């Protein structure tokens, strides 16, 4: 098959996949691992099958994948896909480079610098630095590593004993802070989970108490990680108050804004992030609310030199980094060697919509969150399980007079919803309670989608409580 025909075939599949999201269909065709592995030809051949066969393999893949661009996909903190972002991803792969030196990625480097500068300005780190990372998890790790570097500048050279160093996070923080504690060498047990208020926001007074307790116990506090948009409830910690406590105690303040960072685009919701400008570092995922294809994630730091010192290991790489390009090579600010060009897709999407486009997107998502919340509140058997600050809508069935176990009921409803494949939402916990967490972060979601979602979930609920048979409203694709 010649190049043009092959690429044309691939392009047809891309267009068909994108268009299918606007037609009735299912998000997923759930199938057990064992069944999927039996019915799919996965063998790696000794002799290749050729390009025609690869197109069939693509069709097999496209048929069985979860359709994350469908409006009914409301499960993780990302969904849908920016068309321009997708085009950027394709062009970045096409031009296959690595983001360590200007020499290898000239315009990509300028684009990445532009993106990081702009994101830094939005945060309030006008003279800061940053890097695009492999995600918010690694952004949190970099934040904690910078905190370690600030407290113990020789640690990159001499190593260090982290057994007394203590970091503080909200009790609802993302699990990546534990991974970070492992990697930077303080261990899980040195992450203190600070109590939250009823809405899931870290309580500043509890933070102060925990810091004092650590000191009494002989520990060395070094870092506070706030969450701006928590994973389950979308809660924003009070950044200003927490930052004040962190700094008054000489601690680094990192803000995990992987999920909530996009609030900064909207003058209406920017106050959720008040105080971020006083933080020391921030991570912010553009692959979440901004809809860029995974991965697209920024780590931003106020003290640009500190990040450079942390990543000084590159100095020995004479085969890559040279003195004359010292000021322009992005690899000097990264823990990675080979690094994807994630800047291009973000830059293109940003050029397409401008700050105003992101603000509109955020405000529309919040409007839809309000809509879903109001429908939940109107429904006689549904109960909101948390106050709402962001687009996470956490609720559950809690019918009056129901005598069974509500956790089992809601788990069963969600599990049947997954089996049907018509909608995808997350099952999470708030305290001891199982909740259904739906998230608005997909440009295809409308009020109609949310109405359909509630009718579908109510239908399943009735089926579970009354033992009625299931009917699929949509045909199998
Ligand atoms: C609050 C928060 N921080 C960090 C992360 C990790 O981000 P990533 O998946 O980009 O590593 C998540 C993921 O959902 C998150 O919810």
The 10s digit of each residue's pLDDT in 420-455 is: 999 999 999 999 999 999 999 999 999 999 999 999
Task: Indicate the SS3 state at residue 274.
Answer: coil
Residue 257 near residue 276, CB atoms below 8 Å: yes
Q: Residue 10 above 80 pLDDT?
A: yes
Task: Indicate the SS3 state at residue 337.
Answer: coil
The conformation of residue 424, written as its DSSP 8-state character, comes to B
Average pLDDT over residues 242-250: 98
Interval 73-118: pLDDT, tens: 999 999 999 999 999 999 999 999 999 999 999 999 999 999 999 9
Average pLDDT over residues 317-327: 87
Length of the chain: 477
Name which of 363, 361, 369, 422 is nearest 395 in CA terms: 369
Ligand 1 geometric centre to CA of 68 (Å):
17
Residue 1's pLDDT is 85
Residues with Cβ < 8 Å from 347, sequence gap 6 or more?
88, 111, 114, 115
Average pLDDT over residues 218-239: 98
Q: Residue 325 above 80 pLDDT?
A: yes
Tell me if 422 CB under 6 Å of ligand 1.
Answer: no
Atom of ligand 1 nearest to the CA of 135: 10
Task: Indicate the SS3 state at residue 193.
Answer: strand
Residue 273's pLDDT is 98
Residue 469's pLDDT is 54
Angstrom distance (rounded) from CA 28 to CA 66: 5
Ligand 1 geometric centre to CA of 173 (Å):
9
Percent of the chain with pLDDT over 90: 92
Average pLDDT over residues 410-414: 96
Q: Residue 475 above 50 pLDDT?
A: no
Tell me if 442 CB under 6 Å of ligand 1.
Answer: no
Averaged pLDDT of the chain: 95
Q: Whose CA is nearest to atom 5 of ligand 1?
A: 136
Tell me if 176 CB under 6 Å of ligand 1.
Answer: yes
In the chain, what are the domains?
Answer: 1-28+66-82+354-477 (3.90.1150.170), 98-341 (3.40.640.10)
Tell me if 77 CB under 6 Å of ligand 1.
Answer: yes
Residue 250's pLDDT is 98
Ligand 1 geometric centre to CA of 137 (Å):
6
Residue 324's pLDDT is 86
Average pLDDT over residues 116-145: 97
pLDDT grade for 468, boundaries at 50, 70 and 90: low
Angstrom distance (rounded) from CA 349 to CA 311: 29
Torsion on CA atoms 167, 172, 177, 179, rounded to nearest 10 = 130
Q: Residue 471 above 70 pLDDT?
A: no
Ligand 1 geometric centre to CA of 379 (Å):
31
Task: Indicate the SS3 state at residue 7.
Answer: helix
- Dmax (CA) for the chain in angstroms is 75
Residue to mutate (ligand 1; options 171, 176, 235; most atoms within 8 A of CB): 176
Residues with Cβ < 8 Å from 46, sequence gap 6 or more?
none
Determine how many CB atoms are found less than 10 A away from the CB of residue 462. 13
Tell me if 256 CB under 6 Å of ligand 1.
Answer: yes
């Amino acid at each position: 098959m010649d190049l043009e025909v092959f690429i044309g075939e691939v392009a047809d599949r891309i267009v068909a996949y994108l268009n299918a999201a606007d037609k009735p269909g299912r998000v997923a065709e759930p199938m057990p691992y064992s069944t999927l592995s039996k019915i799919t030809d996965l063998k790696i051949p000794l002799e290749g099958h050729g390009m025609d066969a690869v197109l069939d393999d693509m069709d097999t893949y496209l048929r069985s994948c979860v359709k994350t661009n469908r409006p009914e996909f409301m499960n993780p903190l990302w969904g849908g896909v920016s068309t321009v972002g997708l085009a950027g991803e394709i062009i970045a792969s096409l031009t296959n480079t690595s983001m360590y030196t200007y020499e290898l990625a000239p315009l990509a480097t300028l684009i990445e610098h532009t993106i990081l500068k702009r994101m830094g300005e939005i945060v309030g780190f006008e003279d800061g630095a940053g890097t695009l990372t492999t995600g918010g998890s690694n952004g949190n790790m970099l934040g904690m590593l910078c905190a370690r570097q600030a407290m113990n500048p020789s640690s990159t050279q001499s190593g260090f004993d982290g057994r007394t160093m203590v970091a503080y996070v909200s009790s609802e923080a993302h699990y990546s802070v534990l991974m970070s504690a492992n990697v930077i060498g303080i261990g899980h047990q040195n992450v203190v989970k600070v109590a939250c208020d009823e809405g899931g926001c870290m309580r500043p007074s509890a933070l102060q108490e925990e810091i004092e307790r650590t000191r009494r116990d002989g520990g060395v506090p070094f870092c506070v990680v706030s969450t701006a948009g928590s994973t389950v409830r979308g809660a924003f910690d009070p950044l200003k108050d927490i930052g004040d406590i962190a700094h008054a105690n000489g601690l680094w303040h990192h803000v995990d804004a992987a999920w909530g960072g996009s609030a900064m685009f909207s003058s209406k919701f920017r106050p959720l992030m008040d105080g971020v400008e006083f933080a020391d570092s921030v991570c912010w995922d553009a692959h979440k609310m901004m809809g860029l294809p995974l991965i697209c994630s920024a780590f931003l730091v106020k003290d640009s030199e500190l990040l450079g010192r942390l990543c000084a290991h590159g100095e020995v790489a004479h085969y890559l980094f040279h003195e004359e390009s010292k000021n322009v090579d992005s690899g000097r600010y990264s823990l990675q060697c080979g690094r994807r060009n994630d800047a291009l897709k973000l830059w293109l999407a940003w050029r397409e919509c401008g700050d105003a486009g992101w603000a509109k997107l955020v405000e529309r998502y919040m409007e839809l969150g309000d809509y879903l919340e109001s429908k939940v509140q109107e429904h006689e058997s549904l109960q909101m399980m948390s106050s709402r600050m962001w687009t996470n809508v956490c609720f559950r069935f809690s019918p009056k007079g129901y005598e069974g176990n509500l956790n089992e009921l809601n788990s069963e409803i969600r599990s049947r919803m997954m089996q049907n494949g018509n909608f995808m939402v997350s099952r999470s916990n708030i305290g001891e309670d199982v909740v259904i967490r739906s998230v608005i972060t997909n440009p295809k979601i409308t009020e109609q989608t949310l109405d359909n979602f509630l009718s579908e979930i109510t239908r399943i609920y009735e089926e579970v409580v009354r033992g009625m048979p299931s009917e699929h409203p949509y045909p199998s694709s």
